[in-house]
C-alpha cells in the first residue's frame, strides 16, 4: 500500500511534505527541499520537523537556530487539535495559510474588539485578543505579525488565561523581540523565535507541521462536536 493511501483522511503525501504541492513537479521540488532541510538541520525529534518547515518557509536555515520551544508545545498543540480547540490568529494572512486537515475552527482577532480598539486607541489585533477573554482558554493562538497582540496575550496569561498553545513569532524592530522573550517566561506551551525575525510564514509553517503530525497520528476522523 502506498503512503498516500495509508495516510489519514485529509492528509496526502504532498501535504505531508509541503501543503501547497499539488502537481508532480511541485511535489518533487518539495521532496528535494525537505531532504535538503533534513540534512542541514537534522531529523531526530518532532521539533526538528518544525525547524525544517520554518526554514523552508523563509529560505534560510538560520531560522532553525532561532526557534525556541517552551513547555512541550508540540505535544500541547497535538492535544489541542485532538480536542478540536479553536485557533485564533492575529491577521488574515495567517488565518488563510493554515491548512484545513483538522476539525478546529480558525478565527482572526481582527473580527473581534473593533469598539475596544477605537475606544482605547489600541491596535485592532490587541483589542481582538483582549475581547476574546476566556475564549482563549485551551485554544491555539497564532501570532505572526503583531507584537502588540502578543504582549496582550502575555498579559492575559499572567492574569490567569491559559491557551493550549501560543505560537508567537511576530517580526519587526518595535516590541517583537521583547514580546517573544516575555512569552518564553510564562507557564504556557509556546513556540517563538529569538530576536526580531519571524513573521507570517514562520507562524503558518509551525502550526501546519503540527497539523500534519496530528493527521498522521489521528484515528478519529469524526466531526468536531465542541464548536
CB neighbour burial string for 169-178, b if at least 16 within 10 angstroms, e if fewer: bbbeeebbbe
Task: Report pLDDT for 227.
Answer: 34
Please give the backbone phi and psi of residue 12, each rounded to the nearest 5 degrees, phi first. -110, 165
Q: What is the pLDDT of residues 57-106, one digit of tens each?
A: 999 999 999 999 999 999 999 999 999 999 999 999 999 999 988 989 99
- Cα–Cα distance for residue pair 166/76, rounded to 1 Å: 10
Residue 27's pLDDT band, with cuts at 50, 70 and 90, is confident
Give the other-Cβ count within 10 Å of 167's Cβ. 31
Name which residue leads in pLDDT, 167 or 4: 167
- Cα–Cα distance for residue pair 216/210, rounded to 1 Å: 10
Task: Report pLDDT for 23.
Answer: 79
Does 26 have pLDDT greater than 90?
no
Name which residue leads in pLDDT, 23 or 124: 124
Q: What is the pLDDT of residues 132-185, one digit of tens each?
A: 999 999 999 999 999 999 999 999 999 999 999 999 999 999 999 999 999 999
For 215, the grid coordinates are 493527521
Average pLDDT of the residues in 107-133? 97
Average pLDDT of the residues in 46-65? 96
Kindly report the average pLDDT of the chain as a whole number: 89
Q: At what angle do helices 46-58 and 73-82 cross, to 10 degrees?
A: 90
Q: What is the model's pTM?
A: 0.87
Can you tell me which residue has the cell 493527521?
215
- Cα–Cα distance for residue pair 34/49, rounded to 1 Å: 9
The CA-atom distances, in angstroms, between 93 and each of 28, 50, 74, 110, 127 are 26, 19, 22, 11, 18
Amino acid at each position: 500500500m502506498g503512503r498516500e493511501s495509508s495516510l489519514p483522511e485529509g492528509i496526502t503525501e504532498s501535504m505531508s511534505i509541503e501543503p501547497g504541492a499539488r502537481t508532480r513537479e511541485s511535489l518533487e521540488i518539495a521532496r528535494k527541499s525537505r531532504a535538503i532541510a533534513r540534512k542541514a538541520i537534522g531529523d531526530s525529534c518532532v521539533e526538528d520537523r518544525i525547524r525544517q518547515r520554518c526554514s523552508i518557509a523563509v529560505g534560510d536555515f538560520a531560522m532553525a537556530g532561532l526557534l525556541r520551544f517552551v513547555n512541550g508545545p508540540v505535544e500541547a498543540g497535538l492535544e489541542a487539535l485532538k480536542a478540536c480547540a479553536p485557533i485564533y490568529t492575529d491577521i488574515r494572512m495567517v488565518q488563510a495559510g493554515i491548512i484545513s486537515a483538522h476539525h478546529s475552527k480558525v478565527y482572526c482577532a481582527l473580527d473581534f474588539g473593533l469598539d475596544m480598539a477605537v475606544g482605547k486607541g489600541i491596535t485592532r489585533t490587541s483589542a481582538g485578543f483582549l475581547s476574546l477573554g476566556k475564549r482563549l482558554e485551551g485554544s491555539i493562538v497564532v501570532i505572526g505579525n503583531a507584537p502588540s497582540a502578543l504582549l496582550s496575550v502575555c498579559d492575559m496569561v499572567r492574569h490567569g488565561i491559559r491557551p493550549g498553545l501560543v505560537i508567537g513569532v511576530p517580526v519587526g524592530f518595535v516590541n517583537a523581540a521583547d514580546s517573544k522573550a516575555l512569552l518564553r517566561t510564562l507557564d504556557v506551551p509556546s513556540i517563538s523565535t529569538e530576536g526580531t525575525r519571524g513573521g507570517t510564514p514562520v507562524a503558518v509553517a509551525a502550526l501546519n507541521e503540527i497539523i500534519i503530525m496530528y493527521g498522521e497520528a489521528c484515528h478519529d476522523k469524526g466531526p468536531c462536536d465542541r464548536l
